[in-house]
């Protein structure tokens, strides 16, 4: 079971017009990053593109999201100290998720290992910092919003996976 929401409480929901039809919007993306600044940036960018992010700050929280079947995609920060980014990439890809990784531009060995583990692509931090919305919109297959339309919607549910 994967895709938006999938009936799992760790996913986010947003209210429809006039509060009607509350439910998951967009594709659900697990975000594994132990760096709060990067995690917050990625979650915000995903929200502006209509995706439903689930932030996991640890390997255990990420494993719980994978086991729940709530997400259809994952973004993995490869340079974290709290978990093995390549192993988590392999775990997500093995669970059938489409995986995008982010890492240092000059760490060719790590980038190659992530691709071998099942990542669709590995982007440098700078690329996501400068062109994050465009990169993520292309990866999600959604149109890039017009300039000025990139306000971050407020979450209407839990934005973080519960500790495992």
Tell me the pLDDT tens digit for each residue of 31-74: 999 888 889 999 999 999 999 999 998 999 999 999 999 999 99
pTM score, whole prediction: 0.77
Please state which architecture CATH assigns to domain 34-140. Answer: 3-Layer(aba) Sandwich (3.40)
CA angle, 53 then 89 then 14, to 5°: 10
Nearest to 113 by CA among 93, 135, 89: 89
Burial class (CB in 10 A: 0-12, 13-18, 19+), 65: buried
Give residue 17's pLDDT: 27
Q: Which residues of the chain have pLDDT under 50?
A: 1-24
């Amino acid at each position: 079971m994967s895709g938006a929401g999938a009936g799992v409480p760790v996913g986010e929901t947003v209210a429809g017009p006039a509060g009607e039809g509350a439910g998951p919007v967009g594709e659900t993306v697990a975000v594994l990053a132990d760096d709060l600044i990067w995690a917050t940036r990625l979650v915000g960018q995903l929200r502006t593109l209509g995706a439903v992010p689930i932030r996991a700050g640890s390997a255990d929280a990420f494993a719980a999201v994978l086991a729940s079947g709530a997400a259809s995609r994952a973004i993995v920060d490869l340079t974290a100290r709290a978990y093995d980014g390549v192993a988590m990439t392999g775990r997500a890809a093995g669970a059938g998720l489409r995986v995008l990784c982010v890492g240092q531009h000059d760490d060719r060995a790590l980038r190659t290992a992530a691709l071998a583990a099942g990542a669709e692509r590995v982007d440098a931090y700078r690329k996501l910092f400068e062109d994050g919305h465009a990169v993520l919109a292309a990866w999600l297959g959604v149109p890039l919003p017009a300039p000025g339309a990139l306000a971050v919607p407020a979450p209407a549910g839990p934005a973080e996976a519960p500790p495992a």
